[in-house]
Amino acid sequence: KQEVTQIPAALSVPEGENLVLNCSFTDSAIYNLQWFRQDPGKGLTSLLLIQSSQREQTSGRLNASLDKSSGRSTLYIAASQPGDSATYLCAVNGDRGSTLGRLYFGRGTQLTVWP
Amino acid sequence: KAGVTQTPRYLIKTRGQQVTLSCSPISGHRSVSWYQQTPGQGLQFLFEYFSETQRNKGNFPGRFSGRQFSNSRSEMNVSTLELGDSALYLCASRPGTEVDTIYFGEGSWLTVV
């Protein structure tokens, strides 16, 4: 069964710092990996999607990498801002049988960026 | 383009009752999936529908059911509510293939008392 782990569970940093959030998964048979942001009481907003054949994706100050063979992904946030404060969730999309089309989520990293 | 719309946003039900939640996907999207989010279990997959057919189902009891209509709108139903069913229920849509980005709605907050 696919299991997704995110480290750290919580992170509190001053504005301007560069951050790395980690995600690991146990089964490398994935279609893609997606990073989401969730603000308190809200739904999920997709940040980046990396296909299983890709190594990284970038969007603005965000960069996500994927090492499928080792079951790891990192989300790099450059020059963090207070508006980045949220919970960041990693999810992998299964690629076969009963896992096809379903997302397996980590528990998230709760990020606080203070001014 | 309108996003994924879920109704109602908040509701309170009593143990033993049943509840129906509704989801309207992004226009043109044919896949709708449902997730339950709780502090204890995190986000868990309930089921996915594609062109009115259930394509995949998570490990939830039979009290949880869903359906999809010809216009891709979806409903999920929970019968005989238990206190542990209190959660944020999230609906998500995508055009139809696993390679597509998935888009989530704001969710329906269900409290069972």
Residues A106, B31: C-beta atoms closer than 8 Å: no
Beta bridge partners of B48: B33, B56
Average pLDDT over residues A84-90: 98
Please state, in angstroms and rounded to a whole number, the distance separating the CA atoms of residues B50 and B59. 19
The H-assigned helical ranges of chain A are none
- Statement: residue A99 has pLDDT above 70: no
**Contact A59/B at CB under 8 A:** no
Q: Please count the other Cβ atoms lying within 10 Å of the Cβ belonging to residue A114.
A: 10
Residue B14 near residue B112, CB atoms below 8 Å = yes
Q: Which two tokens stand for residue A30?
A: 């994935």
Tens-digit pLDDT profile for residues A12-61: 999 999 999 999 999 988 889 999 999 998 899 999 999 999 999 999 99
Chain A CB contacts of B44 under 8 Å are: 105
- Looking up tokens 């044919």 gives B30
**% helix / strand / coil in chain B, to the nearest 5?**
5, 55, 45
**Contact A76/B at CB under 8 A:** no
pLDDT at A105: 96
pLDDT at A98: 63
pLDDT at B101: 84
Residue B93 near residue B4, CB atoms below 8 Å = yes
pLDDT at B103: 93
Higher confidence at residue A76 or residue B102?
A76
- For residue A80, the number of C-alpha atoms closer than 13 Å in the C-beta half-sphere is 22
Tens-digit pLDDT profile for residues B29-83: 999 999 999 998 999 999 999 999 998 899 999 999 999 999 999 999 999 999 9
Please state, in angstroms and rounded to a whole number, the distance separating the CA atoms of residues A38 and B103. 12
The rounded mean pLDDT for chain B is 94
Q: Which amino acid is at A3?
A: E
pLDDT at B1: 65
Distance of CA A96 to the CA centre of its chain: 22
Average pLDDT over residues A68-89: 97
Chain B CB contacts of A51 under 8 Å are: 99
- Statement: residue B88 has pLDDT above 80: yes
The rounded mean pLDDT for chain A is 93
